[in-house]
């Protein structure tokens, strides 16, 4: 339906290439983040590319929208820096397998919700301020993850000869070190390219920072792991083989039976974040491309939501975090993309990127830091949409969600305290009738979690 949508094949293909360039950074960032959880980076790379292509193909042919999907930013950070460390503290041998199990369950729940058309209802009943607060908080969390990975900020700790001491929680890293300098330069590069509306500015910023890092290595300034791609044992489909042996269908259902409450909290956090991420992205892309109908609704939205639910299930089976719709899809829509042909083009490019894995995997964390920081900037902009002058529950609830994510270093904690705060304030201000049943369910689940934390119970 190209003519019906006011587009043509050339425009759609260009739009698809543009979207891919805008979000190809995930092929470098996702292995960098998830490998911190003890997973094989080659396998993660393949899982990221294949699941992105699969979910995007469903979006193309089933929903016919110019929306591209891949492993979600924020969700992968929650996976690697919150869920896995917490599970490791419990003595779980392979905590990332439990996290993948939670991702699979989340995807199955999404499929069920999409079939019964209940997913949109869930999102509509959550306060708008809380939605914006969660998104902004994730932006801050992603930013601090990027800065920490590059060494721009670090823990303020020192050993005085007797014990580890600290005067503040965090401090500025070594501004004379190559990773810190290059990361800061990379942020400026991305910002400059974004200002001049250069397509793929985030990806270009990553590559430029990486190249500068290689130069620093050759000059002897950078002393870390080699930044030059290693083609010594190159195999075209090497990552796919790694994925098949290292991460494919690596689930831990035994943990679910023994730690049901803890597992439920993990699943709910993934579920809650992805709900807003996907629906918000779809609405944003639809508004950019004038795809909403006269009622302000997005036709075939159920099919679009089903695409990311199926993609999430496959991603978990392959070995990657939650697959979701990308806001970078708006870059392709801005180029004129209006149909699934745009998504199809991007999906093909994800598959073609697999043989280039040595290049993507050689990109260090200080080079991907600019992407994390800039995506954080794009997400924190949602704070400007918050209403701080109306209902106190909406105001404080959204604010609490924002501050707890980076300061507690946990997306789930931010969501938990945001919801708990909102419900309690609604009760004490005499507005208990405004609390939807789904919010009561969330409140009960998180209240039980708080009790277990107070009692020192980890499962």
- List Cβ neighbours of 166 (8 Å cut-off, separation of 6 or more): 155, 156, 157, 158
3-state secondary structure the chain: CCCCCCCCHHHHHHHHHHHHHHHCCHHHHHHHHHHHHCCCHHHHHHHHHHHHHHHHHHHHHHHCCCCCEEECCCHHHHHHHHHHHHHHHCCCCCHHHHHHHHHHHHHHHHHHHHHCCCHHHHHHCCCHHHHHHHHHHHHHHHHHHHHHHHCCEEECCEECCCCEECCCCEEECCCCCHHHHHHHHHHHHHHHHHHCCCCCHHHHHHHHHHHHHHHHHHCCCCCCCCCCCCCCCCCCCHHHHHHHHHCCCCCCHHHHHHCHHHHHHHHHHHHHHHHHHHHHHHHHHHHHCCCCCCCCCCCCHHHHHHHHHHHHHHHHHHCCCCEEECCCHHHHHHCCCCCHHHHHHHHHHHHHCHHHHHHHHCCCHHHHHHHHHHHHHHHHHHHHHCCCCCCHHHHHHHHHHHHHHHHCCCHHHHHHHHHHHHHHHHHHCCCHHHCCHHHHHHHHHHHHHHHHHHCCCCC
Q: How many other CB atoms sit within 10 Å of the CB of residue 101?
A: 21
The whole-number pLDDT of residue 459 equals: 41
Q: Classify residue 344 by burial, with Cβ atoms within 10 Å: 0-12, 13-18, 19+.
A: buried
- Please return the burial class of 224, using the count of CB atoms within 10 Å of its CB with bins 0-12, 13-18 and 19+: middle
- Provide the sign of the torsion angle of the four alpha carbons 97, 99, 103, 105, taken in this order: positive
φ, ψ of residue 153 to 5 degrees: the values are -120, 150
What is the model's pLDDT at position 458?
45
Task: Evaluate whether 56 touches 346 at the Cβ level (below 8 Å).
Answer: yes
- Residue 456's pLDDT is 59
CA distance 350 to 64: 18
In angstroms, rounded to a whole number, what is the distance separating the alpha carbons of residues 67 and 306? 13
Directed axis angle between helix 437-454 and helix 411-428, to 10°?
110
Q: What is the pLDDT along the chain (459 residues), one digit of tens a residue?
A: 888 878 899 889 988 888 888 788 899 889 989 999 999 999 999 999 999 999 999 999 999 999 999 998 878 988 998 889 988 988 888 899 999 999 999 999 989 988 887 766 665 677 888 888 887 888 888 888 889 888 999 988 766 677 777 778 888 999 999 999 999 999 999 999 989 988 778 888 888 999 999 999 999 999 888 899 888 888 888 899 999 999 999 999 988 888 888 888 888 878 877 776 676 677 667 766 777 777 666 788 888 889 989 999 999 999 999 999 887 887 788 778 899 999 999 999 999 999 988 887 788 889 888 888 888 888 888 899 889 988 999 999 999 989 998 888 877 788 889 989 999 999 999 999 999 888 888 788 788 778 877 775 444
- pLDDT confidence of residue 439: 85
Q: What CA–CA distance (Å, rounded) separates 321 from 309?
A: 12
Instruction: Name the maximum alpha-carbon separation found in the chain.
Output: 74
Q: Which residues pair with 171 in a beta bridge?
A: 154
Question: Which residue in 435, 409, 406, 437 sits closest to 421, CA to CA?
Answer: 435
pTM of the model: 0.74
Q: Are 157 and 166 in contact (CB under 8 A)?
A: yes
Cα–Cα distance between 72 and 263 in angstroms, integer?
20
Work out the angle at residue 79's Cα, subtended by the Cα atoms of residues 273 and 302, and round it to the nearest 5 degrees.
Answer: 35
Residues 431, 437, 443, 446: what is their CA dihedral angle, to the nearest 10 degrees?
-170
411-428 and 260-288 helices cross at what angle (nearest 10)? 90
Rounded CA gap, 68 and 65, in Å? 9
């Amino acid at each position: 339906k190209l003519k019906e949508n006011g587009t043509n094949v050339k425009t759609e293909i260009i739009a698809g290439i543009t979207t891919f360039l805008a979000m190809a950074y995930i092929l470098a960032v996702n292995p960098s983040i998830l490998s911190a959880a003890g997973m094989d980076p080659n396998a993660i790379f393949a899982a990221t590319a294949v699941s992105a292509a699969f979910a995007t193909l469903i979006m193309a042919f089933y929903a016919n929208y110019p929306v591209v999907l891949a492993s979600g930013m924020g969700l992968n950070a929650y996976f690697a820096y919150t869920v896995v460390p917490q599970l490791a503290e419990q003595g779980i041998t392979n905590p990332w397998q439990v996290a993948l199990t939670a991702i699979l369950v989340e995807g199955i729940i999404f499929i069920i919700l999409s079939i019964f058309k209940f997913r949109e209802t869930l999102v509509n009943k959550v306060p708008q301020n809380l939605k914006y607060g969660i998104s902004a908080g994730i932006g801050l969390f992603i930013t601090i993850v990027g800065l920490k990975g590059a060494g721009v900020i670090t823990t303020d700790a020192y050993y005085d000869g007797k014990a580890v001491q600290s005067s503040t929680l965090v401090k500025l890293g070594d501004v004379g070190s190559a990773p810190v300098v290059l990361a800061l330069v990379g942020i400026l590069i991305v910002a400059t390219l974004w200002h001049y509306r250069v397509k793929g500015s985030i990806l270009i910023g990553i590559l430029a920072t990486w190249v500068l890092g290689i130069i620093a290595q050759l000059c002897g300034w950078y002393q870390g792991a080699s930044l030059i791609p290693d083609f010594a044992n190159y195999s075209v489909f090497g990552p796919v083989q790694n994925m098949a042996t290292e991460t494919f269908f690596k689930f831990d259902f035994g943990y679910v039976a023994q730690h049901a409450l803890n597992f439920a909290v993990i699943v709910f956090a993934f579920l809650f974040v992805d709900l807003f991420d996907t629906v918000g992205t779809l609405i944003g892309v639809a508004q950019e491309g004038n795809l909403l109908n006269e009622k302000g609704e997005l036709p075939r939205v159920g099919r679009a939501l089903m695409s990311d639910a199926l993609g999430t299930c496959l991603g978990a089976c392959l070995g990657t975090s939650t697959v979701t719709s990308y806001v970078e899809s708006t870059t392709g829509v801005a180029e004129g993309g209006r149909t699934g042909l745009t998504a199809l083009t991007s999906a093909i490019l994800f598959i073609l990127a697999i043989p280039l894995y040595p290049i993507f995997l050689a990109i260090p964390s200080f080079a991907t830091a600019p992407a994390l920081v800039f995506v954080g900037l794009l997400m924190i902009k949602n704070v400007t949409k918050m209403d701080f002058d109306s209902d106190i529950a909406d105001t404080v609830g959204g604010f609490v969600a924002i501050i707890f994510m980076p300061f507690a270093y946990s997306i789930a904690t931010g969501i938990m305290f945001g919801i708990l705060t909102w419900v309690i304030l609604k009760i004490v201000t005499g507005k208990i009738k405004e609390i939807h049943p789904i919010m009561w369910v969330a409140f009960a689940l998180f209240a039980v979690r708080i009790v277990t934390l107070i009692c020192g119970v980890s499962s």
